[in-house]
Amino acid sequence: MKSFVVNGINDYQVVEQNVPSVSDEQVLVRVEYAGICGSDLHIIHGQNPFATYPRITGHEFVGTIEKIGENVKDLRVGTKVVVNPVISCGQCRPCKIGRSNVCTELQVIGVHTDGGFTQFQTVPASNIIALPDTINLRDATLIEPYSIAANVFNRLDASSDDTILIYGAGVIGLTIVQIANVLGIPSIIVDLLDEKLETAKQLGATYTINPKRENTEQRVMEITEGHGVPLIADAACIPALIPEIMRLAAPAGTVCLLGFSSEDSPLQQVEVIKKELTIVGSRLNNKMFPKVIDWMAQGKLDTEHLISHEFTLDTAPEAIELIETDPQKVRKALIKMH
């Protein structure tokens, strides 16, 4: 079989490998599609502190079950499946209080362990979720990205009479727009690139703002009649934007941060205290796959406007180069493995 392997910083290639053998608690997945994500690029660039090399990257992948370990009872060969990349211990405090996505022993498939940029991969059976026949595998590759957005709404504790302000119209921002629609929550999205805002509009964003042409604060206050926004998701992840985000939050509002920056962020305490804001982080997903699969099966998620490119496994390095040189052209790029 062939795999896309990152050997070290900026050093990656497609190589021939043996199909891995399956242990008792695992299944072997014949990978059909995998999505390329910003965090795969972070591993390539040596910016992910959790990844070691060599590593087969890819945490967004789907396929069919090829083989089953001895102790796996409830799965069958040939079933279409999606892989939840979050591996947790079940014993630590976060796991015990139902927050296993921030397990103290957290392992992410494609980051801490080998992932889906390969033709066959072994996965713990507990990370495998069977797909209904109504969902095709190409669309299913987006279940993991949608689960990130679903987790944001979970962390925001959103209800349908709220409005959400989203910073950043990359794939995460665009999936947040779509889930806002599913939940009946109007959205305002901010980005510097008009093409991305155009896609956000097509996907159902209620308002778009380009700070190159408009004053974000003025425009948001106009839209909300001076109240500010009860829900804010920061998918732009620029530390310098934090003060503006806090100013735009409405009293009793909730702000969800998604960035992984280790830079200090300036924060004016007065904005947080006078409005009693709640600031939350969102990481990966906490058992959001069933919900997303349900929405997808009902045709509520527009995958077609999110997928912009498809590559073969042999041309995966070209996909990486395209994303590096022309990031604004790429939304979600998929790799087809066979």
With respect to Zn ion, which residue has the nearer C-beta, 19 or 92? 92
Tell which residue, 294, 302, 281, has the closest CA to residue 82. Answer: 294
Stretch that binds Zn ion, among 17-25, 80-88, 188-196, 202-210 (CB under 5 A): 80-88
- Sequence-distant (≥ 6) Cβ neighbours of residue 45 within 8 angstroms: 9, 10
> Is residue 102 part of the contact set for Zn ion (CB under 5 A)?
no
Q: Residue 117 has what DSSP assignment?
A: S
Nearest approach, Cβ of residue 109 and Zn ion (Å): 11
CB of 13 closer than 8 Å to CB of 317:
yes
> Is residue 242 part of the contact set for Zn ion (CB under 5 A)?
no
Contacts to Zn ion from residues 22-41, by CB under 5 A: 37
Tokens of 208: 């778009």
Stretch that binds Zn ion, among 81-89, 151-159, 239-247, 277-285 (CB under 5 A): 81-89
Burial (CB count <10 Å: 0-12, 13-18, 19+), residue 118:
buried
> Is residue 142 part of the contact set for Zn ion (CB under 5 A)?
no
Nearest approach, Cβ of residue 326 and Zn ion (Å): 19
Distance CA 143, CA 122 (A): 19
Binding Zn ion (rule: CB under 5 A), the pick from 26, 48, 84, 88 is 88
Nearest approach, Cβ of residue 319 and Zn ion (Å): 14
3, β-bridge pairs: 15, 118
Alpha carbon 91 to its chain's center: 25
- Calculate the CA dihedral of residues 145, 146, 148, 150 and round it to 10 degrees: 180
With respect to Zn ion, which residue has the nearer C-beta, 95 or 156? 95
Stretch that binds Zn ion, among 87-95, 152-160, 238-246, 256-264 (CB under 5 A): 87-95
Stretch that binds Zn ion, among 93-101, 133-141, 151-159, 167-175 (CB under 5 A): 93-101
Nearest approach, Cβ of residue 286 and Zn ion (Å): 12
Angle separating helix axes 143-156 and 171-182, nearest 10 degrees: 60
The amino acid sitting at 143 is: I
Q: How big is the site for Zn ion, counted in residues (CB under 5 A)?
A: 6
Nearest approach, Cβ of residue 171 and Zn ion (Å): 8
With respect to Zn ion, which residue has the nearer C-beta, 1 or 89? 89
> Is residue 301 part of the contact set for Zn ion (CB under 5 A)?
no
Tokens of 107: 């392992």
Tell which residue, 8, 4, 13, 11, has the closest CA to residue 36. Answer: 4
With respect to Zn ion, which residue has the nearer C-beta, 88 or 154? 88
Tell which residue, 249, 75, 62, 258, has the closest CA to residue 175. Answer: 258
Stretch that binds Zn ion, among 2-10, 90-98, 275-283, 296-304 (CB under 5 A): 90-98
Binding Zn ion (rule: CB under 5 A), the pick from 81, 82, 103, 231 is 103
Binding Zn ion (rule: CB under 5 A), the pick from 95, 174, 188, 337 is 95
Tell which residue, 291, 287, 189, 283, has the closest CA to residue 231. Answer: 189
Interface residues with Zn ion (CB under 5 A)?
37, 88-89, 92, 95, 103
